Structure 1
Amino acid sequence: MKTIYNFTIIILCLLYFVCIFLNPHAIIETTKTSILLWAQKIVTSLFPYFLIINVFVNSRIISYVSYIFLPVAKNIFKISSQGFFAFIIGLLSGYPVGIKTVCSLYKENLITKKEATKLLHYVNNSGPLFIIGTVGINFLNSKTQGYILFFAHTLASIIIALFVSVFSKIEWVSYKNYNVNINFDLGNLLSRSVKDSIEAILLIGGFITLFFNLNFVLEYFKIYPLFCNTLHKLLGIDKNFIQGLLYGFFEITSGTILISKSQTLSVFYKLLTCVFIISWGGMSVHFQAISFLKEAELPIKTYLIGKCFHAILSVIILLIIFVVI
């Protein structure tokens, strides 16, 4: 399996390299598009979150701020209030803030490795701004459909969190930090927080650019069209549906745009496909998360399994919503 993975990476790199020579203008334009997206959407929405979270974590103020979540965290989700704080932040702010927060908490010894591993199953989520605003209003032209997508996506994450809590015990050691004395150098605190935030946001921008270009390369060498046409002929699956899933597998924005613009898919199938893509997160998001996980030495497999279950469960919830409605 590892040999196949390595061989695939080598082939993709070679195709990328050849495409740069054959069509440099298109690569430049795709890169420009991804950088503009990163600057206008990602930096403006995520950098403030990263900055304030880094200040909270590095100063240990989070131990006091998160104390208000203790009853719910302890009795329902069986995690520390700091861990529950990371879960809430992940739901409200979007990819990859949740996973970044968990890794920061663990590196600062505010949660244990066991609790951090538990949180990896469900802490990394897409936020309401992207689901309702971008996908619902801008792509699907429906605020209602955006709310439906957000409800299914969020409920799936909460269900996974409750399911994990059934088979886990509370990490009491996680609560030892409530009595930590707040004593820090403000200059060093702000410098470190800004530095960590900039590094994280630049890393995200690099992955977005990489996967935007990768999608173009696969389209340029007719790999996507070949795959879509083959499945269409063999199974009769809609080409737009296959193309949207392929793009969404790598990058959620591209995938949801293609699905929403499809003239052949019904609203029902558009919503099912969009919620699957959003809850899966895309390889671009996963590589961002993996970079944080490797630095914190947390298990990558646990995180990926959680995202697979999240995608499947979101689709099931959306199906139930349509049956009920």
Structure 2
Amino acid sequence: MFRSKLKTVFLSVSVTILAASLISFPQESFDASIRGLNMWWEIVFPSLLPFFIVSEMLIGFGVVKFIGVLLEPLMRPLFKVPGVGGFVWAMGMASGFPAGAKFTARLRQEGQLTQIEAERLVSFTNSSNPLFIFGAVSIGFFHNTHLGILLALAHYLGNICVGLIMRFYGNETPEEEAKKRNSSKIRSALSALHQTRLKDNRPIGKLLGDAVNSSIQTLLMVGGFIILFSVINKLLYHLHITAALAKTVELLLSSLSIPEMLSIPFISGLFEITLGSQLTSLVHESTLLQKAMITSFILAFSGFSVQAQVASILAQTDIRFKPFFLARILQGVFASLFALVLWKPIYIRFSNNEQPSNALPVGFFGEGTWTNHFYNRLIEIGPLITIFSLLLYVLLLFFRLKKN
């Protein structure tokens, strides 16, 4: 009882301080809000919307169930999750935060995952997409095309390690284990595809409308969190709370022989990955390796902003948030260690002017290539996609309310 009252007091005081800070720093809050809105408006919404809509339709048509049966022999031994986890993992890496949580929650609602399986799956299927790592962080912040390869490898290898560790999390009942063995036969894939489609007997138009409606609702929630945490991060800086927290982090960084100047970017990155990565790139007193390790941790931890988005999505199911949070810390540690271990064999190797013939062409991710061009075009046309999608959402909502 006392603990509950203490939590109530803490939340009430925190919200009161936030409200007072908004009044005290109106211009700074407005600028931070615009910054968060631009990020959502230009990049997040147009890049995630197609993935969300297509995934909803794939689930409705039974394609995900079909893929799940085929991938069962791979995903079950490695990560102790059903084969549908392979779909979530691939879509999560391709589209970025918080797609893994969105798809995991959706499959849990469909009954294709148990609670334990969903908690295992969501812990390693949320990641930054390659476009953000190479386009925004590597080229946009560090102006270093080679660094993106190191950051991406460290990030995704950290994901795999978390997945391998989380396979030991939780226990299923004997009935659930028997059900999994019976459902893992490859010859049942086509049957599962057909049965899932029959079970979801919505017409194509209804299915598409529901997919658009659900996807835009989720992205509106994501946009709200991005704007909120952009403002909170700015207010914490002006209230000198970031500097106070940085003093504690300085002790940890000093013990690791990392310059203390990286403490404020590190704290900022714990709240919002974009700002933290940008501030880290601007610290000139540290080596590039040290900045790569800090950035790897920030990308893997994903920031309280993304974690709040994930918590909001998981709250719609019985999936618990605590395993996901602990997994973020684990991945942050793994990603930093991989950045250190791979520094010489990966970054130093690709930084040489003469690359081995079997090396991955860095120009594929460099300036002037199609990936960088696509990122810049996304920023240009992103607002138009967002406006069109929101208008479509309003029309669908209007006709749905009129029909009811």
Please give the TM-score of this superposition, normalised by the length of structure 1. 0.90
Q: How does 1:142-291 map to 2 (within 5 A)?
A: 142-165=144-167, 171-172=180-181, 177-183=192-198, 184-228=202-246, 238-291=259-312
Do structure 1's residue 312 and structure 2's residue 314 form an aligned pair? no
Residue identity matched to 2:88: A
Q: 1:26 to 1:173 in 2, by over 3 A?
A: farther
Do the aligned partners of 1:80 and 1:174 also contact (CA within 8 Å) in 2?
Answer: no
Q: 1:212 to 1:313 in 2, by over 3 A?
A: same
Tell me whether 45-54 or 180-189 shows the greater mean CA deviation: 180-189
Q: CA deviation digits over 1:294-324, x for unaligned, max 9?
A: 1011111111111111111111222222365
Greater RCO between the two (CA within 8 Å, min separation 6)?
A: 2
Tell me whether 211-220 or 175-184 shows the greater mean CA deviation: 175-184
TM-superposed CA distance for 1:230, in Å, is: 7.4
Do the aligned partners of 2:150 and 2:343 also contact (CA within 8 Å) in 1?
Answer: no
Do the aligned partners of 1:160 and 1:310 also contact (CA within 8 Å) in 2?
Answer: yes
Do the aligned partners of 2:68 and 2:87 also contact (CA within 8 Å) in 1?
Answer: yes
Tell me whether 87-96 or 246-255 shows the greater mean CA deviation: 87-96
- 2:139 aligns with 137
Separation in 1, partners of 2:296, 2:252: 26
Q: CA deviation digits over 1:113-138, x for unaligned, max 9?
A: 23212213312111111112211111
Do the aligned partners of 2:69 and 2:183 also contact (CA within 8 Å) in 1?
Answer: no
| Cα root mean square deviation, aligned | 2.7
Tell me whether 11-20 or 203-212 shows the greater mean CA deviation: 11-20
**Alignment identity in percent?**
25
Do structure 1's residue 321 and structure 2's residue 342 form an aligned pair? yes
Do structure 1's residue 106 and structure 2's residue 108 form an aligned pair? yes
Tell me whether 54-63 or 199-208 shows the greater mean CA deviation: 54-63
Q: 1:257 to 1:235 in 2, by over 3 A?
A: closer
Q: 1:257 to 1:47 in 2, by over 3 A?
A: same
Aligned length: 325
Separation in 2, partners of 1:64, 1:231: 47
Q: CA deviation digits over 1:36-87, x for unaligned, max 9?
A: 1110010111111111111112333321244543442244444322111111
Residue identity matched to 2:216: I
Tell me whether 151-160 or 279-288 shows the greater mean CA deviation: 151-160
Runs of 4+ in 1 over 6 A off after TM superposition: 1-4, 166-170, 233-237
**1:120 partner SS:** helix
Task: Please list every run of 5 or more consecutive structure 2 residues that lacks an aligned counterpart in the other structure.
Answer: 349-404
Do the aligned partners of 2:245 and 2:267 also contact (CA within 8 Å) in 1?
Answer: no
Separation in 1, partners of 2:161, 2:116: 20
Tell me whether 177-186 or 19-28 shows the greater mean CA deviation: 177-186
Tell me whether 176-185 or 20-29 shows the greater mean CA deviation: 176-185
Separation in 2, partners of 1:303, 1:290: 9
Q: CA deviation digits over 1:214-258, x for unaligned, max 9?
A: 011111222223444676699867453111111111111110010
- 2:64 aligns with 62
Indicate the structure (1 or 2) with the bigger Cα radius of gyration: 2
Q: 1:188 to 1:307 in 2, by over 3 A?
A: same
**1:121 partner SS:** helix
Tell me whether 214-223 or 285-294 shows the greater mean CA deviation: 214-223
Task: Please list every run of 5 or more consecutive structure 1 residues that lacks an aligned counterpart in the other structure.
Answer: none
Do the aligned partners of 1:86 and 1:102 also contact (CA within 8 Å) in 2?
Answer: yes
Residue identity matched to 2:298: I
Do the aligned partners of 2:63 and 2:193 also contact (CA within 8 Å) in 1?
Answer: no
**1:263 partner SS:** coil
Do the aligned partners of 2:65 and 2:196 also contact (CA within 8 Å) in 1?
Answer: no
Q: 1:75 to 1:215 in 2, by over 3 A?
A: closer
- 1:19 aligns with 21
Tell me whether 226-235 or 73-82 shows the greater mean CA deviation: 226-235
Separation in 2, partners of 1:110, 1:61: 13
Residue identity matched to 1:214: I
Do the aligned partners of 1:111 and 1:174 also contact (CA within 8 Å) in 2?
Answer: no
